[in-house]
Structure 1
Amino acid sequence: MLAVFDKSVGKCPEALQSPHSESVCALKDGFLAQHFSSVHPGAVTINLGSAGVVAYSIDKQNPLLPRLFAVMDDMFCLFQGHIENVAHLKQQYGLNKTANEVIIVMEAYRTLRDRGPYPADKVVRDFHGKYAFILYDSSSKAAFIAADADGSVPFFWGTDSEGHLVLSDDAETAKKGCGKSFAPFPKGCFFTTSGGLRSFEHPLNELKPVPRVDSSGQVCGATFKVDEESSRKETGMPRVGSAANWSQNY
């Protein structure tokens, strides 16, 4: 799976941007999407206009960590892996028996966006399993991205030469678009358009970047660790009306 988002949708943390990076513009002339399609024959690519692009393929997938893709009500969601407590989540969100993981993620996001009954970190923490997902809501131009607490699914992110946020389960694709400004997506974390990167395991703690150094001694992106000495003042996302965008209220 692949997603490239404009800075208005996903502002990449500055710590990911390596001063020695030789990255390109991932969106120019569909560069990275075309590369992804050449590596994964039969890939489906969706142009999101000024917001960016997403691409999906079932090529070369791990049968234990299958990929899913769905479009529903202006939401686009890429999901890889599996959720163990599917039955419980279906009941919680009032979904029918045929709903799978990608539908559950979309419904969970919709509930957050429209009603905000729980903090966002709790919603992601309730997903028990091995997974990584990328959701884009074109109605509010917002992204919702997460990876499980064990980092079970290969999942990478970074920034291209223009500051666009790049995400992929393919390390080589991420390197192609980001040069040295890429890293594994932090496990146990989620990213939103307005809230940035946060830990869903330790939602009250800040995340601090730790520089990654390659074999030549050059800094290439960063990993993010929970700062045990820090604590956020905000404890969660306030309830909002159905007409409000939850992502702008926490």
Structure 2
Amino acid sequence: MLAVFDESVAKCPEALAIPDSSESSCALKDGFLAQHFSSVHPDSVTINLGSSGFLAFNNVKQNPLLPRLFAVVDDMFCLFEGHIENLGHLKQQYGLSKCVNEVTISIEAYRTLRDRGPYPADQVVRDFDGKFAFILYDSSSKSTFIATDADGSVPFFWGTDANGHLVLSDDSDMVKKACGKSFAPFPKGCYFTTSGGLRSAEHPLNDLKAVPRVDSSGEVCGALFKVDSESRKESPGMPRVGSAANWSQNY
């Protein structure tokens, strides 16, 4: 799976970018990275998100233990890789009577968070018991919600290209193609939102500290992010609002 987002949708942490990286290119220019993905995966599907970026997906040669899924519901697009073990519990928690799978439960969890906000975003991620990584884009608010499990069970990488676009994929070579050395594994047990940036699901009130990532030749390539145990923010509070309200700017 692959996603590229414009800075207006997903502004990456400054520490992830490497200034003047000669190996990076523009992922969106002339459909560069989308075309490369299609050439590597001829049976893939690409979803153009206009000025916001694009999503790409294929289900060929996938790990049967970590299947890839894609769904669109009411202008919410979601790429999901992995599995959730407590689907039955989540189905009850979100009041779903229809058949659901991992990707649709991710969308419904986000919809509940966006429209009613009964849970903080970190709890939504913690409630998912399994091995997973997902990328969700809400075209109605031009917002993203991206997360991985606490163990980082699914290979998942991110980086920033020459124009500051955020690139995410389960294929490290795909991220390197656009980002050069400005790439790194997506932090374990963390989530990223348009309004809140990168946070730890296990320690949501603590800041994440960037640690330079050094390759085998001693060159800095992106950054790793660790929970800063000495920093702690006050909880912003999670007010309940009516379902008619859009709560996406507060999660």
Partner amino acid, structure 1, of 2:211: V
**Map of 1:193 onto structure 2:** 194
Asked whether 1:60 is paired with 2:70, we answer: no
**Map of 1:86 onto structure 2:** 87
The root-mean-square deviation of aligned C-alpha atoms, in Å, is: 1.2
| TM-fit CA distance, 1:246 | 2.1
**Map of 1:2 onto structure 2:** 2
**Map of 1:228 onto structure 2:** 229
Q: Tell me if the contact between 1:204 and 1:235 (Cα under 8 Å) persists in the aligned partners.
A: no
Aligned pair in 2 of structure 1 residues 236, 213: CA closer, same or farther (>3 Å)? farther
| TM-fit CA distance, 1:98 | 2.1
| TM-fit CA distance, 1:156 | 0.4
| TM-fit CA distance, 1:214 | 1.2
Partner amino acid, structure 2, of 1:13: P
| TM-fit CA distance, 1:97 | 5.0
Deviates more, 1:71-80 or 1:94-103: 94-103
Partner amino acid, structure 1, of 2:7: K
Asked whether 1:126 is paired with 2:127, we answer: yes
**Unmatched 5+ residue regions in structure 2?**
none
SS where residue 163 of structure 1 aligns? coil
Q: State the alpha-carbon separation in 2 of the partners of residues 242 and 93 from structure 1.
A: 14
SS where residue 132 of structure 2 aligns? strand
**Unmatched 5+ residue regions in structure 1?**
none
SS where residue 117 of structure 2 aligns? coil
Partner amino acid, structure 1, of 2:190: C
Q: State the alpha-carbon separation in 2 of the partners of residues 204 and 244 from structure 1.
A: 25
Q: State the alpha-carbon separation in 1 of the partners of residues 67 and 244 from structure 2.
A: 35
SS where residue 174 of structure 1 aligns? helix
Q: State the alpha-carbon separation in 2 of the partners of residues 212 and 191 from structure 1.
A: 20
| TM-fit CA distance, 1:236 | 4.6
Q: State the alpha-carbon separation in 1 of the partners of residues 237 and 185 from structure 2.
A: 26
**Map of 1:11 onto structure 2:** 11
Q: How many residues align?
A: 250
Percent of residue pairs bearing the same amino acid type: 80
Q: State the alpha-carbon separation in 2 of the partners of residues 128 and 54 from structure 1.
A: 25
Q: Tell me if the contact between 2:207 and 2:228 (Cα under 8 Å) persists in the aligned partners.
A: yes
The aligned runs of 1:1-250 (5 Å cut-off) are 1-19=1-19, 21=21, 22-250=23-251
SS where residue 174 of structure 2 aligns? helix
1:91-120 deviations in Å (ceiling 9; x for gaps): 111223521010000000000000001111
SS where residue 96 of structure 2 aligns? coil
1:197-242 deviations in Å (ceiling 9; x for gaps): 0000111111000100112211110010001111111255333333
| TM-fit CA distance, 1:144 | 0.3
Q: State the alpha-carbon separation in 1 of the partners of residues 222 and 231 from structure 2.
A: 22
| TM-fit CA distance, 1:19 | 2.9
Deviates more, 1:15-24 or 1:57-66: 15-24
